[in-house]
Amino acid sequence: MAKKEYDTFILIELSQVPEDKEMEIIVRDLTPEDRRYKYRSFYATAMISKSESKYPDRLWVRLGRGQLQEKPWSVKILKEVNKFSY
Amino acid sequence: MPYTVFKDNREFIKALEANDDLVTIQQEVDWDLEMGAIVRRVCEKKSASPYFKKIKDYPGFEAFGAPLATYKRLAIAMGMKPDASVPEISNEYVKRTTGDPVKSILMDKKKAPCKENIWTGKEADLFKLPGPMVHDGDGGRYLATWHFVVSKDLDTEFVNWGMYRQMVFDEKTMVGPVLPFSDMGKMFYGKYVPKNKPMPFATVIGCDPLSGVAACAPSPIPEDEFTGMLMGAPVELVKCETNDLYVPAHAEIIIEGEVLPDIKIDEAPFGEYTGYRTSPREPRTVYRVNAITFRNNPIVTVSNMGVPTDEGQLLRSFSLGLEMRKLLESQGIPITGVFMLPESTHHLVVVGVRPAYSGIASQIANLVFGSKLSPWFTMVVVVDNETDIYNKDEVIHALCTKCHPIRGIRKYEQAPGTPLYPFADPEERKWSRGSQVLFDCTFPLDWPKASIPIKVSFNNVYPKEIQDMVLKNWKSYGFKD
Ligand SMILES: Cc1cc2nc3c(=O)[nH]c(=O)nc-3n(C[C@H](O)[C@H](O)[C@H](O)COP(=O)(O)O)c2cc1C
């Protein structure tokens, strides 16, 4: 199965981003089955790596004003976190 | 008296077509950037409005781009002749909106076009609507770019329509900035949040053109009644399905739900009206959706904020300038007009005045900077009544020759601002802190008459008989213009 692709906005210095640690991030789904859901955002508990091959899915990185970084990272989504009570 | 105006966007689209100001695109376009890129180019080239008949992944939906990005379209929307000049449109707008507000009327739900389709529960899913990815790099798909949000005060009958952008987060959630000094900001953060109460809202997408104009106008008159004044006839409203708010019956799409008081989520970046992506991605106001109602084959409106000129710049400049005009006239200041330049992204306003007494430019600046309008603009240029405020060449000439580089400029610090100012530093943006400046382009009254420079122009330094003779002989001299 082709890798899934997500992206995320990193609002701190890229060098400060912790790798290989469970953390909560917002990601956007770039490859949903139904294309109408492209860019759906969700909070996720995930582990990320700056290596493209370490985790199963690809993670594209954007900076605070939308600047896309050339090289993707990789991500393992552990679970989607629901922030709403209904 | 009703004017020739349009009860919905469908009639307006037909009028644009009749005036050769519409391009109907039958070819399928992608909601993911292609549609946005087309609308952006339309704004930059001042081309006709695009009417998209086929959107990828969304059969049955249509879209209408750059609905009011030119004065020509504004004139058509007001029922005026398409080539009406800016002063003509301005005077008509001031005439219609001065006087008695026109109360809205209610329409039977069964007859309301916006109720032709009703989705509730799981079916009310935002991804079933063709929200465009407007610019590459935006924080999400912005379904609401030319629209308005209806809300009601917690303790009074006051209802607000305001244009506050909304990004789709997930199936049921939208998010956007609601600035604290906006009417909805004061309502929500001042009343609902302290009581931890969700605030009902209704987002209206694809409203008639004048409701859109009213929703982004900074008038103190309730926007539905203001629309009625612009139309010369009451707006027809219908009650929402899941709350007690009322929305325009002829609108294309209504999204109903609640603004949550206890959570904020990340929104932005987004291409903004200043022509930059400036305001930070940060936690902003959250809208949860309960229902979506819409007309058959609904037409989504798409505005594309960026470098001038889009409808945000054009209409906000137009209505901010004219509200300033009403304010200054109400104070008896002998102004000759107010014009805010759309190309300034509504940051610069030109005020023409008869310099009847010393300090008049400061008085003007104090009034407009001290008003509710002030967070949205930064520069006031006061010119005398010899300068045509609508003529950019004349304004630049006055600015560069009559404004003393030190004594003619007055700075106003510690003003309210917005997070959207590209020139502001990150801390200023975070706290919406602004600063403002007056350029006084009037010659001081205390100068001896003989020392006052004389403007050297054809109209000013030749006797009338010479001017008449030259004008009469112009063609015979050999000039073709
Ligand atoms: C296209 C467009 C988008 C806007 N987006 C926002 C927004 O996201 N948040 C905001 O506070 N104001 C926004 N504004 C400005 C408000 O619409 C404007 O201040 C309006 O007058 C609101 O009315 P109010 O006087 O009821 O607050 C936007 C204006 C336009 C034209």
Q: Are residues B70 and B126 in the same domain?
A: yes
Write the pLDDT tens digit of every residue in B243-260.
Answer: 999 999 999 999 999 999
A66·B138 Cβ contact <8 A: yes
Residues B160-216: tens digit of each pLDDT:
999 999 999 999 999 999 999 999 999 999 999 999 999 999 999 999 999 999 999
Do residues B446 and B373 share a domain?
Answer: yes
Q: CA distances (Å), B335 to each of B142, B325, B332, B365, B443, in order?
A: 40, 8, 8, 12, 16
Q: What is the whole-number distance in angstroms between the Cα of residue B435 and the centre of ligand 1?
A: 20
CB B285 within 8 A of CB B175: yes
Cβ of A9 within 8 Å of Cβ of B139? The answer is: yes
Query: Mutation test of ligand 1: which of B147, B181, B201, B216 has the most ligand atoms closer than 8 Å to its C-beta?
Result: B216
pLDDT tens, N- to C-terminus, chain B (481 residues):
789 999 999 999 999 999 999 999 999 999 999 999 999 999 999 999 999 999 999 999 999 999 999 999 999 999 999 999 999 999 999 999 999 999 999 999 999 999 999 999 999 999 999 999 999 999 999 999 999 999 999 999 999 999 999 999 999 999 999 999 999 999 999 999 999 999 999 999 999 999 999 999 999 999 999 999 999 999 999 999 999 999 999 999 999 999 999 999 999 999 999 999 999 999 999 999 999 999 999 999 999 999 999 999 999 999 999 999 999 999 999 999 999 999 999 999 999 999 999 999 999 999 999 999 999 999 999 999 999 999 999 999 999 999 999 999 999 999 999 999 999 999 999 899 999 999 999 999 999 999 999 999 999 999 999 999 999 999 999 999 9
Q: Map tokens 């420079």 to a residue.
A: B453
| Residue B470, in any domain of the structure | no
A·B CB contacts under 8 A: 56
For residue A75, what are its two tokens? 């991500």
CATH number at residue B393: 3.40.1670.10
Does B109 touch chain A if contact means CB atoms closer than 8 Å? no
Mark which residues 267-306 of B lie under 8 Å from A by CB.
269, 277-278, 280-281, 288
Global pTM value: 0.97
Tokens of B120: 């509730």
Residue with token string 């382009």:
B441
Judge whether A81 lies within some domain.
no
Q: How far apart are CA B34 and CA B39, in angstroms?
A: 9
Give the distance from residue B249's alpha carbon to the nearest chain A alpha carbon, in angstroms: 28
Look at residue B346 and tell me if it is in a domain.
Answer: yes
Give the pairing type, strands B282-294 and B299-302.
unpaired
State which residues form the domain around B376. Answer: 331-451
- Quick one: B130 exposed, middle or buried, by C-beta within 10 A (0-12, 13-18, 19+)? buried
Q: Are residues B335 and B269 in the same domain?
A: no
Handedness of CA B304, B309, B314, B317 (dihedral sign): positive
CA angle (B410, B412, B418) in 5-degree steps: 135
Count of positions (residues) in chain A: 86
Which amino acid, residue B291?
A: A
Give the whole-number percent of chain B exceeding pLDDT 70: 100
Residue-number span of the structural domain to which A22 is assigned? 1-42+55-67
CA terminus-to-terminus distance, chain B: 42
A20, part of any domain: yes
A85 — pLDDT class (breaks 50, 70, 90): confident
DSSP SS3 for A82: coil
Task: Tell me the chain A residues in contact with residue B279 when contact means C-beta distances shorter than 8 Å.
Answer: none
Q: Domain for residue B190, yes or no?
A: yes
Q: Do both B64 and B176 map to the same domain?
A: yes
Same domain, B132 and B276: yes
User: Got the DSSP string for B49-70?
Assistant: EEEES-BTT-TT-EEEE-TT-S
Can you read off the two tokens belonging to residue B438? 């007056």
Q: Is residue B318 part of a domain?
A: no
Task: Collect all residues of chain B within an 8 Å Cβ-Cβ radius of residue A65.
Answer: 137, 269, 277-278
Q: Are B258 and B386 found together in one domain? A: no
- Smallest CA–CA distance, residue B123 to chain A, in Å, is 14
Q: Which H or E run contains B328?
A: helix B311-330
Based on the domain organization, do B145 and B284 belong to the same domain?
A: yes
Alpha helices by DSSP H, B98-232: 183-187, 209-215, 223-231
Residue A74 lies in a domain: no
B169 Cα distance to chain centroid? 25
Per the domain annotation, does A18 fall within a domain? yes
Residue in chain B lying closest to A26 (CA): B266
SS3 B421: coil
Residues B291 and B437 in one domain: no
The residue to mutate among B74, B166, B175, B182, having the most atoms of ligand 1 within 8 angstroms of its beta carbon, is: B182
pLDDT computed for residue A1 by the predictor:
61
Q: How many domains does chain A have?
A: 1
- Which residues does residue B443 pair with via DSSP β-bridges, in sequence order? none
Please, are residues A47 and A75 in contact by the beta-carbon 8 Å criterion?
Answer: yes
**Which residues make Cβ contacts (< 8 Å) with residue B42, sequence separation at least 6?**
B48, B49, B50, B65, B66, B69, B304
- Tell me the backbone φ, ψ of residue B428, rounded to 5 degrees: -65, -40
Total structural domains within chain B: 2
A13 in any annotated domain: yes
Instruction: Please report whether residue B456 resides in a domain.
Output: no
Strand order in the sheet with B49-52: B22-25, B49-52, B62-65, B299-302
